[in-house]
């Protein structure tokens, strides 16, 4: 099942980020403006999480039925379904806690796609939670949005 999720994620990335790479090594230098935009959005999203504003938290995600969220035990398709899962999984401030991120690296996959890898930590009275994430951001209609979240 994990192999299926991995293959599905890679297929999405290949289709979503099909622009040609610019360098002979197949590596594009990360667009600093795009990186800063993504970091700014992630910080705004984090503040919304801490305030219990899940709809605000979800503004970094592509508002589409094609959004893909890959969690530990499930695959969720769609923005609304992902929002509903967050509300169900974190019903109170004690469940939600305080969110922090650490970013490991940014990879420019194409002019319109960036891979962001890092980890998160939820400081909670009921027990802390932490883990890793990989996010595929795509520039859609001039805005950087998460199209795939693997957390």
Domain with 113, as residue range(s), is 28-150
Residue with tokens 């099942």: 1
Extended beta strands in 1-151, E state: 68-70, 75-77, 98-110, 113-123, 129-140, 143-150
Q: What is the mean pLDDT of each run of 10 residues along the chain (151 residues)?
A: 43 45 65 98 98 98 98 94 97 97 97 98 96 98 98 95
Q: What is the pLDDT of residue 72?
A: 86
Number of structural domains, the chain?
1
Whether 72 is in a domain gets the answer yes
Which helix (H) or strand (E) segment is 52 a member of?
Answer: none
Whether 92 is in a domain gets the answer yes
Whether 20 is in a domain gets the answer no
Q: Which CATH number does the domain housing residue 124 bear?
A: 3.10.450.50
The rounded distance, in Å, linking the Cα atoms of 21 and 119 is 27
For the stretch 115-128, pLDDT in tens is 999 999 999 999 99
Whether 83 is in a domain gets the answer yes
Whether 61 is in a domain gets the answer yes
Q: Is the dihedral of CA 138, 69, 36, 118 positive or negative?
A: negative
Q: What is this structure's pTM?
A: 0.84
Q: What is the pLDDT of residue 17?
A: 52
Q: Is the dihedral of CA 9, 15, 16, 22 positive or negative?
A: positive
Whether 63 is in a domain gets the answer yes
Whether 95 is in a domain gets the answer yes
Whether 9 is in a domain gets the answer no
């Amino acid at each position: 099942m994990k192999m299926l999720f991995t293959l599905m994620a890679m297929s999405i990335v290949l289709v979503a980020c099909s622009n040609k790479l610019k360098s002979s090594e197949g590596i594009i230098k990360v667009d600093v403006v795009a990186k800063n935009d993504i970091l700014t959005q992630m910080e705004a999203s984090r503040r919304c999480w801490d305030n219990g504003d899940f709809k605000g938290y979800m503004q970094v995600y592509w508002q589409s039925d094609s959004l893909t969220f890959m969690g530990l035990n499930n695959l969720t398709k769609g923005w609304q379904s992902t929002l509903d899962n967050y509300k169900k999984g974190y019903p109170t401030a004690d469940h939600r806690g305080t969110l922090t991120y650490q970013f490991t690296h940014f990879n420019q996959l194409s002019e319109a796609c960036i891979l962001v890898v890092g980890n998160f930590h939820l400081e909670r009275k009921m027990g802390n939670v932490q883990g890793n994430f990989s996010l595929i951001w795509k520039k859609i209609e001039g805005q950087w949005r998460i199209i795939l979240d693997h957390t």
